[in-house]
């Protein structure tokens, strides 16, 4: 079905992302930790900005990036 295909696709994207993350050394993650934390906080704040965060089922928890949407 359509939902199974979408789920398997998301699973594949997540698996590839995990493989890429494992290729990055721990030193690189430690050096970029503060910047990644700030980016995460900015994305969380953007959800609350009217006309930026997308309302889905009455909750403003999504960010739209073209045809894609994601939850920070």
Residue 22 has what pLDDT? 96
CA distance 42 to 47: 9
Domain count, the chain: 2
Whether 44 and 69 share a structural domain: yes
Q: Both tokens of residue 48? A: 């609350």
pLDDT digits (tens, 9 = 90+) for 46-57: 888 877 777 778
- Domain span at residue 18 reads 1-31
Across the chain, mean pLDDT equals 89
Whether 9 and 26 share a structural domain: yes
Whether 27 and 42 share a structural domain: no
Whether 42 and 25 share a structural domain: no
Global pTM exceeds 0.75: no
Whether 25 and 47 share a structural domain: no
Whether 45 and 70 share a structural domain: yes
Whether 23 and 42 share a structural domain: no
């Amino acid at each position: 079905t359509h939902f199974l295909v979408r789920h398997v696709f998301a699973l594949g994207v997540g698996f590839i992302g995990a493989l890429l993350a494992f290729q990055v050394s721990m030193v690189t993650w430690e050096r970029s930790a503060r910047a990644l934390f700030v980016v995460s906080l900015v994305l969380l704040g953007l959800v609350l900005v009217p006309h930026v965060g997308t309302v889905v089922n009455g909750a403003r928890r999504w960010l739209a990036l073209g045809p894609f949407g994601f939850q920070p």
